[in-house]
Structure 1
């Protein structure tokens, strides 16, 4: 089964008069960095409407999550550059109208999740962007791309915060499956590409460099201690959630999009 919003995407392109636009391979440029400065866009209401419509589209298109989340950060005062970024997302959509989220029968119901963070990636406030993807068997069931609330002082802290976000989501998924009588009681596996954050989850010693980390992020260690979660290291090249934390070149973006089960139908 493929979940698709093809008609919705076509209507959105019609609304912006971009039905015949030139398709692009990725929704965000690797070299383009958006800032709040610049000439203001003369129709901010249109910007907010289109970006709001794109938010609804991410329900079946996780490959758009990073770009749309990034655009949402400039709702209060969009500039001409921000509008150009919206049009780039629409050009990407134009070339991928027939894509959707693929769901299929899975031989297993184990839960595994990937988390990642782009440390200090925002050039404005130096906050990091977290991303995660939760799989039930072979199917992607939950994902997120979001700027962190506080500034991280190290990449380990930024990755640890991302782990806490996905741990909360997996806890909710497990609770839901238990209510439905579908949970197998196997520990969920979390994959992280930062060794420091991986060690921090299993080490009860409170390191000096993490004393400033908010207490609510440490509940992931409790989950590991009780055997609910296993946190494993994964190499950066195998990290699926890079697509939720930063713009990527075409080949890398396409490879990760395929692994998230966003396919042509």
Structure 2
């Protein structure tokens, strides 16, 4: 999506292991500091130390560039940041509200799941949409929602496969996702404080899940400690001749 993220870690004199996360997008910069206790210092001293560190960084940047400090992070490119007792919660409630309004579904009924389990998506089925531009616009917006909603990656990947010639059946799939977003508007991604720096990856495919070309869809999720930091769901490039082959392809994508 055009983001740049950099993380650095150091032990400050107050006994905290401090992580500075820098997120850049176009002309916007987000500085986020996460401190975890190594011993029992005074919390107020730690807070003042973090604030002074960020102030020093902003002062250095302002000496070279024209910048404006917008204060504490609350809203960034459609993503709302809410302080949590265990870290920071990222969610897109306002963005989802705007998306439902654009689709004319602000008052739609909520559902519990983003996809039906009884039918498989296919290129064949239903007449062509009279307004394919609406389909492409809403699906493109749903791709942005997956920035904080990894649980939608599989469903959104499926509907993205029909952008060239969407049918009414495909539009019903999109509307099902919007109904689900109505139900889960406040769901998001929690970034937790943790000393755990272990990197763990999980992957899984649905062997021959596409009824059109028999290709599998693979997905992976990568965790740094308890935090989900990378995820994907996409159709594999070639047809897997066995479930084992599709598993290896999904594993290769996760390790790439």
**Fold shared per TM-score above 0.5:** yes
- Any idea what SS the aligned residue of 1:8 has? helix
RMSD: 0.7
Secondary structure of residue in 1 paired with 2:130: coil
Pair 1:34-2:121 in alignment:
yes
1:199-238 maps to which residues of 2 (within 5 A)? none
Separation in 2, partners of 1:6, 1:54: 13
Q: Deviations over 1:10-49 (max 9, x none)?
A: 0000111111100000100001222111311111000000
Q: Equivalent residues in 2 for 1:61-210 (5 A)?
A: 61-168=149-256
What is the SS of the residue equivalent to 2:166? coil
How big is the shift at 1:107? 2.8
Decide which structure has the larger Cα Rg and report it. 2
Matched, 1:6 2:93: yes
Cα deviations across residues 84-103 of structure 1 (Å, max 9, x unaligned)? 00000000000111111011
Determine the C-alpha separation between the residues in 2 that align with 1:117 and 1:16. Answer: 31
Over 2 Å off, 4+ runs: none
Counterpart in 2 of 1:15? 102
Q: Tell me the matched-pair count.
A: 168
Question: What secondary structure is seen at the aligned counterpart in 1 of 2:185?
Answer: coil
Deviations 1:161-180 (A, max 9, x none): 11111111xxxxxxxxxxxx
Higher relative helix content:
1
1:187-210 CA-to-partner distances (Å, cap 9, x unmatched) read xxxxxxxxxxxxxxxxxxxxxxxx
Structure 1, unpaired ranges of 5+: 169-265
Aligned to 1:233: none
Tell me the residue number matched to 2:79.
none
Instruction: For residues 51-75 of structure 1, give each alpha carbon's deviation from its aligned partner in whole angstroms, at most 9, with x where no partner exists.
Output: 0000011001001101100000000
- When normalised by structure 2's length, the TM-score is 0.65
Unpaired runs of 5+ in structure 2?
A: 1-87
TM (normalized to structure 1)?
0.63
Higher relative contact order (CA 8 A, sep 6+): 1
